[in-house]
């Protein structure tokens, strides 16, 4: 069985200071990490390793993503592929490239993504990729099991729900599913000393210029108003309204 795990590398938010008054994001420490949802997807893939599964990690991005892919190998991936791109990306382009790479690899039974990345949280890549590959998609998954040619997933709705689909399929794993397991130390050493990351180019797949052109682009950044400490609130109802206004309750 061949499993693809799509990995996004993000800027570590612990190195950022957001200054709302100056309307600036200061990067004190430029370090990158594997997006937590992608890490949860990797962990889900690793659980099938005993069952004759080959796990391939793929990421699209600049040269620095090499590090994320080595960590992915330390976390269980047998092979890793960097699709090298220094251009701005959006979920449309990412999905087109991932779909083309998955076609090129061939015989893929399962594609795992993170459900929403920690930085932009758009959650578009998995359903777009499923569309591009014409496969079913299961989002918000906490756990998956494979039985021969089908898959059962536990997904979060308001509570939890079991769903079933034939393979191949695209499954998006939520970051909360991650158990916090560390990479094995010897694999980490091998990932740097023995193994290598394959590098592919965005021109390897015969995609059109249109397919590589982002349809959503970032214009600028903006900031919430400065915090007002000590604001008195009368009761629970007013508090609820404030939490909604601050969008703390929007993601229920």
Ligand X SMILES: Nc1ncnc2c1ncn2[C@@H]1O[C@H](COP(=O)(O)O)[C@@H](O)[C@H]1O
Q: Which of residues 110-149 bind ligand X (CB under 6 A)?
A: 113-114, 116-117, 120-125
Q: Which is nearer to another protein, 31 or 176 (CB)?
A: 176
Element (H, E) at 27: strand 24-27
Binding-site residue total for ligand X (CB under 6 A)?
Answer: 24
Residue 123 found at the interface with another protein (CB under 8 A) = yes
Pick between residue 161 and residue 189 the one whose CB is nearest to another protein: 161
The half-sphere exposure of 233 on its side-chain side, counting CA atoms within 13 A, is: 11
Closest distance of CB 189 from another protein, Å: 26
Range 161-169 contact pairs with CB under 8 angstroms and sequence separation of 24 or more: 163/138, 165/136, 165/138, 166/136, 167/109, 167/110, 168/108, 168/109, 168/110, 168/111, 168/133, 168/135, 169/110, 169/111, 169/130, 169/135, 169/136, 169/137, 169/138
Which one of 47-55, 64-72, 149-157, 195-203 is the stretch in contact with another protein (CB under 8 A)?
149-157
Binding of residue 91 to ligand X (CB under 6 A): yes
Among 3, 55, 56, 60, binds ligand X (CB under 6 A): 60
We find the least distance from the C-beta atom of residue 58 to another protein, in angstroms, to be 18
Residue 220 CA: distances (Å) to CA of 223, 225, 242: 10, 16, 26
Shortest Cβ distance from residue 159 to another protein (Å)?
A: 5
Counting contacts by CB under 8 A, is residue 63 touching another protein?
A: no
Task: Give CA–CA dist 58/61, Å, rounded.
Answer: 10
199 binds, among ligand X, another protein, none (CB under 5 to 8 A by kind): none
Q: Which stretch binds ligand X (CB under 6 A): 6-14, 16-24, 140-148, 222-230?
A: 6-14
- How far is Cα 74 from Cα 70, in angstroms, rounded to an integer? 6
Is the Cβ of residue 36 or residue 191 nearer to ligand X in the bound state? 36
**Separation of alpha carbons 114 and 172, rounded Å:** 5
The yes or no reply on residue 7 touching ligand X (CB under 6 A) is yes
Report if residue 6 touches ligand X, rule: CB under 6 A: yes
């Amino acid at each position: 069985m061949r499993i693809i795990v799509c990995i996004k590398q993000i800027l570590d938010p612990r190195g950022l200071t957001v200054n709302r008054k100056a309307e600036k994001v200061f990067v004190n420490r430029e370090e990158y990490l594997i997006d937590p949802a992608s890490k949860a997807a990797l962990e889900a893939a690793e659980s099938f390793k005993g069952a004759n599964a080959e796990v391939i990690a793929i990421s699209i991005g600049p040269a620095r993503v090499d590090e994320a892919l080595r960590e992915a190998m330390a976390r269980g991936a047998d092979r890793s592929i960097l699709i090298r791109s220094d251009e701005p990306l959006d979920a449309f382009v990412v999905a087109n490239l991932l779909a083309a790479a998955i076609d090129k690899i061939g015989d893929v039974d399962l594609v795992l993504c993170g459900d929403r990345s920690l930085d932009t949280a758009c959650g578009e890549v998995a359903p777009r990729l499923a569309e591009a590959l014409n496969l079913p998609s299961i989002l918000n998954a906490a756990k998956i099991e494979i039985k021969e040619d089908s898959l059962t997933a536990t997904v979060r709705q308001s509570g939890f729900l079991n769903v079933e689909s034939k393979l191949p399929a695209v499954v998006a794993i939520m970051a909360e599913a991650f158990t916090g397991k560390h990479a094995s130390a010897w694999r980490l050493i091998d990932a740097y000393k023995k193994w290598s990351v394959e590098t592919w180019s965005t021109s390897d797949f015969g995609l059109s210029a249109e397919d590589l052109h982002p349809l959503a682009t970032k214009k600028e950044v903006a900031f919430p108003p400065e915090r007002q400490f000590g604001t008195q609130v009368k009761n629970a109802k007013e508090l609820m309204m404030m939490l909604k206004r601050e969008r703390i309750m929007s993601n229920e």
